[in-house]
Structure 1
Amino acid sequence: MTEVRVPTLGESVTEATVATWFKKPGDAVAVDEMLCELETDKVTVEVPASTAGVLGEIVAAEGDTVGVDALLAVINAGEGAAPAPAAAKAPAAAPAASGGDAVDVMVPTLGESVTEATVSTWFKAVGDTVAQDEMLCELETDKVSVEVPAPAAGVLSEIVAPEGTTVDASAKLAVIGGATASAAPAAAPAAAVALAASADVENAPSANKMMAEKGIDAAAITGTGRDGRIMKEDVMKAALAPAAAPAPAAAVAPRAPVSADDASREERVKMTRLRQTIAKRLKESQNTAAMLTTYNEVDMGEVMALRNQYKGEFEKKHGVRLGFMSFFTKACVHALKEVPEVNAEIDGTDIVYKNFVHMGVAAGTPTGLVVPVIRDADSMSFAEIEKAISEKGRRARDGKLSMAEMQGGTFTLSNGGVYGSLMSSPILNPPQSGILGMHKIQDRPMAINGEVVIRPMMYLALSYDHRIVDGKGAVTFLVRVKEALEDPRRLLMDL
């Protein structure tokens, strides 16, 4: 017997929600085949099988909140081991009393240190018929979203905690009347399967999230999961299909129009957990740091000429295009050596100076802003930096970045210029003390040696934590970056 446990989720992430099981007890599994999907407030983590065999007992069901290294399931070796786990799992329906009694729906375990949650969505209304394990509602905590399944089949007779209610960890949410689920699973598993199939099937949470983000109607997707549920892979296939494009308007209907006239012109979409985390972290940054922004501008002519001269040879030799990001990374590394407080962070009453540069590179993705980290950028060549940025950017767009790849940065680059931004004030990425905003390269008239000439200019913006970085240090940093970019030879001479 092999245990399937929660993998490492990343620094500071201690728990996750079991979003989807791709296998059920009794199914044969191959090595590295995906068993289930976990969701944290930052990323989705797939759990592969470490060995081949037959999936035995599932210890953590969909919607359960689990900690790092918690037991998820067991894999039995060989054939013929499946019946025992399936039979062992059947009694889980026992909460229902015999013949038509009422069953309370309680708040499930929310996880260590989580004492309350908010009822965000009810999937069923009073009077609706529900099947055992059918999703009744969704709770939100400050860490995860938790789905609450029906403990028994019957009719939802009372909702005790409506949407928006804050409940504690032991609160009653609803009551199911006429519960009849206790006898059916043990005596006739096939009947229970038929009952579940006849009810509305809840799609995988990751699939719901992706459908909302991409504006795809669930009715246009054929689910390949258990009982026809829509999986994340189904949504990805639908997004790539040409026929999927016209669907956005039907994805989410307006729920709370201000007036009847506005009803047809509004739509309300639930924030993804990634978007909620982004919002929370950015606001925390503004509330915590004494943030200030200073500006300068740089003549990009020399960098552009150098890039045009060598880009062909560079790509031929290194297999990657020569972009501007490697120049900016090198220039910032050079400046950080002279102004180390911009590369430091505050820890209580201490200042922690970093004798290395882990460069964060902000990247916009369909699901939101992420900041993959290029580790030890101060010891990398131009080619190594370009390869790392290209690879991290591709993984970010595909949603494949791990938690470890987005943590530990000491300074951040944010290139709003790729979207046409001329000027902006970037927000710090805590606990970092500095972030450099790059902007659009624009031809502007400049006075040089008493003459007006047209030069390709870029505005630079350094946002910094004034608690640790003084104005002199911030201005010096920007001037050093400007000097290095306007005369790239200074980088070679370490000047």
Structure 2
Amino acid sequence: MTTEVRVPTLGESVTEATVATWFKKPGDAVQVDEMLCELETDKVTVEVPAPAAGTMGEIVAAEGDTVGVNALLATIEAGAGAQTSAKADAPAKAAKESSNDSSGGNVDVMVPTLGESVTEATVSTWFKKVGDNVSQDEMLCELETDKVSVEVPAPAAGTLTEILAQEGETVQANGKLAVLSGAADGAVEPAQRPAAETASSGDAKTAEPRKGEDAPSAKKAMAEAGLNPDQVKGTGRDGRVMKDDVARAVAAGATASAATTAAPAAPAATPRAPVPAEDAAREERVKMTRLRQTIARRLKDSQNTAAMLTTYNEVDMTAVMELRNEYKEEFVKKHGVKLGFMSFFTKACCHALREVPEVNAEIDGTDIVYKNFVHMGIAAGTPTGLVVPVIRDADSMSFATIEKAIAEKGARARDGKLSMAEMQGGTFTISNGGVYGSLMSSPILNPPQSGILGMHKIQDRPMAINGEVVIRPMMYLALSYDHRIVDGKGAVTFLVRVKEALEDPRRLLMDL
């Protein structure tokens, strides 16, 4: 039986990719979900897992080839190849081979699927220690990636006999975390791993990861930019340099050739000024989480890439507050969720985006991609940092549906349960600094989006209305936008339409 390996979905608006690296060659044995190759698109790196176990057959698309979505990459032949490999690797895989033995063997605890283009994670917390008994599906540890936390359940009941990745260590996708042994009675002695495997694991913890073959597109880009691999920090598997790594190095002002440069390379960050010993003794140094590092990098990349400007306005919240107070009890009874302000702002933004579509667009090379839909990002603060869950097709939702989606996504964000898919594909973002008391701020764009609306604190202020001074609940609004595709007129028009819709919500019903 022959199984076809095809190019998976590559992401919104992405139709082709380059074959970067093959991890297997014809004749190799493969297991289900074992990584076969890595594809590189303009935006992400995609790993292709084996859809079935067997022997690697023909490789149709070689490294460096460009392939379209659903194109044939290779074939897998079922049968003897996998058996031959299993026999050859028996000493190293004995524990795993016996994992289904009801008499009590070893079960490997592996890193689960981390999400599209995510190849590694950091072990955040172990909930169990060596010697503890565990039940099937009981949480063993928590992993932290650039965007989400992933809990790892026990694949079977037994005793935790070995932890291979300690807290703080970085693990690769599909890597081994720990070993379970026997029934959950603590009677089974920890299994000894083969000497070769033990040495390999120890080396992996102390030695630097081996740098693999750089992506073909990255080699071409480095040649065109006059860079050598030592000048580019690789983010691919095993430290391979990818195409976007070269782009970042060029943007950072990498020199044309390290061989002709006598001066030492500049440090990645400005060195910290000397601290007096008496002050240093009272400091606490904590390593940034992967999420915080990603937030910092993305925000800085946004400032470096986009021509970002911010325009401001203010809105009288009287009408929205009166409408909300009048119907909030009926709203809860009928829909089972509270009527908040976010649904009004979401509706107002969707209304304004129809009139000013460039605020809902993005730049892709020399093209502008206009979106005929609104996937609304709602920024949410969590104990580990800011995340932006996405409400898809918010422009077609009712107030109740929006409120339910916001409540559900917010709860999942606070609990660290959001998946990668739930934070991808946003076209516009709303950030509410008012919940923390902010009166005025300039939000930073969430790339590749071209607009973000900043909400702020509602504060009673004296306003001149029809020649009289009255007290009104006012809120400052801030729209940050990418001036490369959004002109000042469009940005101001968008913000005025949001203001008008909030000050007279009936305009939303009349589509005015």
Q: TM-score range by the shorter chain?
A: 0.5 to 0.7
1:50-449 superposed matches below 5 A: 50=155, 52-54=156-158, 61-62=165-166, 65-70=170-175, 86-88=191-193, 106-109=206-209, 258-260=275-277, 262-263=279-280, 266-449=283-466
Per-residue CA distance 1:365-390 (angstroms, 9 max, x = gap): 22222212222211221112112222
Q: Distance in 1 between matches of 2:209 and 2:328?
A: 57
Within the candidate set 112, 116, 129, 1:11 is matched to: 116
Structure 1 residue 468: Cα displacement: 1.5
Structure 1 residue 289: Cα displacement: 0.5
Q: Distance in 2 between matches of 1:375 and 1:34?
A: 31
- With 40-49 and 78-87 compared, the bigger mean Cα shift is at 78-87
Who is 1:31 aligned against?
Answer: 136
Within the candidate set 15, 27, 47, 2:152 is matched to: 47
Change (3 A) 1:296 1:142: farther
SS of aligned partner of 1:458: strand
Change (3 A) 1:83 1:25: farther
Q: Distance in 2 between matches of 1:105 and 1:33?
A: 27
User: 8 Å contact 1:23–1:55 — kept in the other structure?
Assistant: no
Q: Which amino acid aligns with 2:396?
A: S
- With 15-24 and 35-44 compared, the bigger mean Cα shift is at 15-24
Structure 1 residue 362: Cα displacement: 1.2
Change (3 A) 1:80 1:443: closer
Structure 1 residue 38: Cα displacement: 2.6
Change (3 A) 1:82 1:465: farther
SS of aligned partner of 1:87: coil
Structure 1 residue 364: Cα displacement: 1.9
User: 8 Å contact 1:54–1:82 — kept in the other structure?
Assistant: no
Per-residue CA distance 1:11-65 (angstroms, 9 max, x = gap): 3322224456656899765332224433323332112234x35479979644765
User: 8 Å contact 1:301–1:486 — kept in the other structure?
Assistant: yes
Q: Which amino acid aligns with 1:30?
A: S
Per-residue CA distance 1:104-160 (angstroms, 9 max, x = gap): 984243786899xxxxxxxxxxxxxxxxxxxxxxxxx9879x9xxxxxxxxxxxxxx
CA RMSD of aligned residues (A): 3.8
Q: Which amino acid aligns with 1:472?
A: K
Consecutive unaligned residues of structure 1, counting only runs of 5 or more, are 97-102, 116-140, 147-254
Is 1:483 aligned to 2:494, yes or no?
no
Who is 2:69 aligned against?
Answer: none
Per-residue CA distance 1:212-249 (angstroms, 9 max, x = gap): xxxxxxxxxxxxxxxxxxxxxxxxxxxxxxxxxxxxxx
Consecutive unaligned residues of structure 2, counting only runs of 5 or more, are 1-98, 101-107, 216-232, 239-271
Structure 1 residue 323: Cα displacement: 1.0
SS of aligned partner of 2:193: helix
Q: Distance in 2 between matches of 1:77 and 1:36?
A: 19
Matched-pair identity in % = 77
Q: Distance in 1 between matches of 2:387 and 2:200?
A: 43
Q: Distance in 2 between matches of 1:289 and 1:380?
A: 30
Q: Which amino acid aligns with 2:398?
A: S
Normalised by the length of structure 1, the TM-score is 0.62
Change (3 A) 1:348 1:112: farther
Structure 1 residue 328: Cα displacement: 0.2
Structure 1 residue 398: Cα displacement: 2.7
SS of aligned partner of 1:278: helix
SS of aligned partner of 1:306: helix
Q: Distance in 2 between matches of 1:304 and 1:261?
A: 54
Q: Distance in 1 between matches of 2:205 and 2:383?
A: 36
Who is 2:249 aligned against?
Answer: none
Q: Distance in 2 between matches of 1:445 and 1:95?
A: 71
SS of aligned partner of 1:485: helix
Structure 1 residue 5: Cα displacement: 4.4
Within the candidate set 478, 481, 487, 1:464 is matched to: 481
Q: Distance in 2 between matches of 1:472 and 1:78?
A: 69
Per-residue CA distance 1:356-415 (angstroms, 9 max, x = gap): 212111122222222122222112211121122222222222333232222221111111
Q: Distance in 2 between matches of 1:463 and 1:481?
A: 14
Structure 1 residue 300: Cα displacement: 0.8
SS of aligned partner of 1:88: coil
User: 8 Å contact 1:26–1:86 — kept in the other structure?
Assistant: no
User: 8 Å contact 2:128–2:140 — kept in the other structure?
Assistant: yes
Change (3 A) 1:298 1:256: closer
Q: Distance in 2 between matches of 1:438 and 1:327?
A: 12
Q: Distance in 2 between matches of 1:36 and 1:75?
A: 13
Change (3 A) 1:264 1:142: farther
Q: Distance in 1 between matches of 2:143 and 2:305?
A: 31
Change (3 A) 1:421 1:27: closer
Q: Distance in 1 between matches of 2:395 and 2:410?
A: 19
Structure 1 residue 433: Cα displacement: 0.7
User: 8 Å contact 2:159–2:183 — kept in the other structure?
Assistant: no
Normalised by the length of structure 2, the TM-score is 0.60
Q: Distance in 2 between matches of 1:266 and 1:325?
A: 40
User: 8 Å contact 1:18–1:64 — kept in the other structure?
Assistant: yes
User: 8 Å contact 1:43–1:402 — kept in the other structure?
Assistant: yes
User: 8 Å contact 2:144–2:290 — kept in the other structure?
Assistant: no
Q: Which amino acid aligns with 1:109?
A: P
Q: Distance in 2 between matches of 1:437 and 1:469?
A: 17
Structure 1 residue 484: Cα displacement: 0.6
User: 8 Å contact 2:377–2:388 — kept in the other structure?
Assistant: yes
Q: Distance in 1 between matches of 2:158 and 2:178?
A: 11
SS of aligned partner of 2:287: coil
